[in-house]
Amino acid sequence: MDWREHDGVRWLEAELPGARAHFSTRLGGVSDGAFRSLNLGLLTGDEPDAVRENRHRLAGALGIDPRDVLIGRQVHAAAVAWHDDRQPEQAFAEPGPQLDEFDGQATASESLAPLVLVADCLPVALAGPGGVAMAHCGWRGLATGVIAHGVEAVGARAAAIGPGIGACCYEVGEEVLEAFEGLGPPVAEGRMLDLVGIARRLLAESGVRDVETSGLCTSCNDELFFSHRRDSGHTGRQAGVVRRWSS
């Protein structure tokens, strides 16, 4: 992945076959305090006007019409929504009051850009001959199949895993460890769970072996990323965005 910056907005970018994935940081926005500075989450306690400005700034930096960036209400599940055209109620900058619930989005359209919000969970971009998908991958979503659903939606052959909490910082309980016992060799050292390792194994099981990762832990890098675990829940959100790219 490569670093990109435009008007103070900084993000990581990954090239996928026929697609491009973008993973934002907390840099380049107008929010203050715990939400400094490019907080993209409206349901965080931040000032709504600041979040809307931040969303416009990110879309502008990426060169995408914010009306074409689609979001949903994430519930740590496995549903992946398919989009053929613009959905005004799910527009990134000015979403409607009743967002549909799903943790992944997919499209074959070059004009649409599926987005997920994260603050320790993994944003996983998928690309294949059927289109692109972006999945919000916390441990619950991983355990219940969000990656397999995303891969199936677009016939994914390649993936990019953005920044998320690393095994260095992610201590979990027995319930979480038991959810991944069927994956074979340990995906945790003691109680320290490796979300990226789990995602890579699930991608491989679904036939995706061309996988790029950021290698960055959101909890360790407080100047770059928001982290729900590190900040005890009082924090902002960054994003993963993917779109088809023909050039």
CB 163 within 8 A of CB 214: yes
Residues 207, 18, 107, 140: is their CA dihedral positive or negative? positive
- The residues near 71 (Cβ < 8 Å, ≥ 6 apart) are 90, 91, 92, 95, 99, 115, 116, 117
d(CA 211, CA 227): 24
In which element (H, E) is residue 168 found?
A: none
Residues of the chain with pLDDT under 70: 247
pLDDT of residue 247: 60
Residue given tokens 């074979």 in the structure block: 184
d(CA 124, CA 16): 12
pLDDT of residue 47: 97
pLDDT of residue 14: 98
Identify the DSSP state of 87: -
Tokens encoding 167 = 């095994």
Q: What is the pTM of this model?
A: 0.96
Cα 138 → chain centroid: 10
Backbone φ, ψ for residue 159 (5° rounding): -145, 155
CB 136 within 8 A of CB 104: yes
Number of alpha carbons in the 13 Å side-chain half-sphere of residue 71: 25
In a 3-state reduction of DSSP, which class is residue 54?
A: helix
For 108-231, strand residue ranges (E) read: 113-118, 122-128, 131-137, 158-161, 188-189, 192-193, 210-213
Q: Please report, in angstroms and rounded to a whole number, the separation of the first and last CA atoms in the chain.
A: 18
The domains of the chain, with CATH numbers, are 2-164+208-244 (3.60.140.10)
pLDDT of residue 223: 98
CA distances from 34 to 38, 223, 226, 237 (A): 11, 12, 9, 11
